[in-house]
Amino acid sequence: MPLAVERLELGPIATNCYLVRSDPAAVEAVVVDPSGPAADIRLRLASLGAQCAAILVTHGHWDHLLGVADLAEGTGAPVHMPEGERLLLESPSSFTPPGIPIRAWTPEVTVRGGEVLELAGITFRVLAVPGHSPAHVAYLADGCAFSGDVLFFGSVGRTDLPGADWATLLGSIRELVGAGSPDTVVFPGHGPATTLGAELASNPFLDELRAEQESAGSEPPAA
């Protein structure tokens, strides 16, 4: 049975927060990137008859951290985030634009890529996908990829930010494509869901990856 995934657009720049359950009747959920008020997230969980069992953070940019501390404190759910970006949550005032209120929190679990997390009856594989941020990760589970700000519908993550790099980002997308299948559903940090196949077939930023496939004698997967 496919995962039950609820998308909430939260915060001042409509960042995606995902409530992920092993099936629609599951009473435990994993929250990916709590990007807005914890009260909004908890109300939606309550409407689903679920509780937050764990929190996954893809990277440390402020818009993905807005509700982390309050949600963790209110539910007791452990926070998992990239080791290389934990300081952005532990000392958010040093990295957050003026007027953006983020409470500091120390993540209970840090990841680097390569870990397997068993949470709420779901097996998540952690994939290192730097490039948009230095220690960015994606979480893969049951044909789904929670990609943060690495890959979007028709676009990719910004590389004009501190610690970002285009060549590294492209390499990470190559890794993401290799870790999934064409029909893997991509749940990005902003905008609608897509699939790896659709993006490899038509995303204008991935011409280089398409050229690599053509030179290797294979066609891009159908959208």
Tell me what pLDDT residue 83 has: 98
pLDDT in tens, 135-144: 999 999 999 9
pLDDT of res. 97: 86
Query: Are 17 and 30 contacting, i.e. CB atoms less than 8 angstroms apart?
Result: no
Distance CA 134, CA 56 (A): 17
Sheet holding 4-10, edge to edge: 4-10, 15-21, 28-32, 51-56, 79-82, 109-111
- Would residue 222 count as lying in a domain? no
Q: Report the distance separating Cα 145 and Cα 113, nearest Å.
A: 14
Residue 223 lies in a domain: no
| Residue 221 in domain | no
DSSP string, 35-96: -S-HHHHHHHHHHTT-EEEEEE-S---GGGTTTHHHHHHHH-PPEEEEGGGTHHHHSGGGTS
Q: Total structural domains in the chain? A: 1
Residue 42 lies in a domain: yes
User: Which residues span the domain enclosing 200?
Assistant: 4-215
- Quote the pLDDT of residue 28: 98
**What pLDDT does 96 receive?**
86
- Tell me whether residue 35 is in a domain: yes
How confident is the model at residue 1, as a pLDDT? 64
3-state secondary structure of 145: strand
Written as tens digits, the pLDDT of the chain (223 aa) is 689 999 999 999 999 999 999 999 999 999 999 999 999 999 999 999 999 999 999 999 999 999 999 999 999 999 999 999 999 999 998 888 888 889 999 999 999 999 999 999 999 999 999 999 999 999 999 999 999 999 999 999 999 998 999 999 999 999 999 999 999 999 999 999 999 999 999 999 999 998 887 787 655 454 4
| Centroid of chain to Cα 176 | 12
What CATH number is given to the structural domain containing 27? 3.60.15.10
Closest-CA residue to 57 (of 109, 102, 22): 109
The model's pTM: 0.94
Going 92 to 70 to 128 to 144, the CA torsion angle's sign is negative
The answer to whether position 220 is within a domain reads: no
124 contacts: CB under 8 Å, gap ≥ 6? 30, 56, 116, 117, 118, 139, 140, 141
Alpha helix (H) ranges present in 66-206?
68-75, 87-90, 166-179, 196-202
Q: What pLDDT is recorded for position 215?
A: 80
Q: Which amino acid is at 86?
A: R
Among 203, 169, 166, which Cα is nearest to 59's? 169
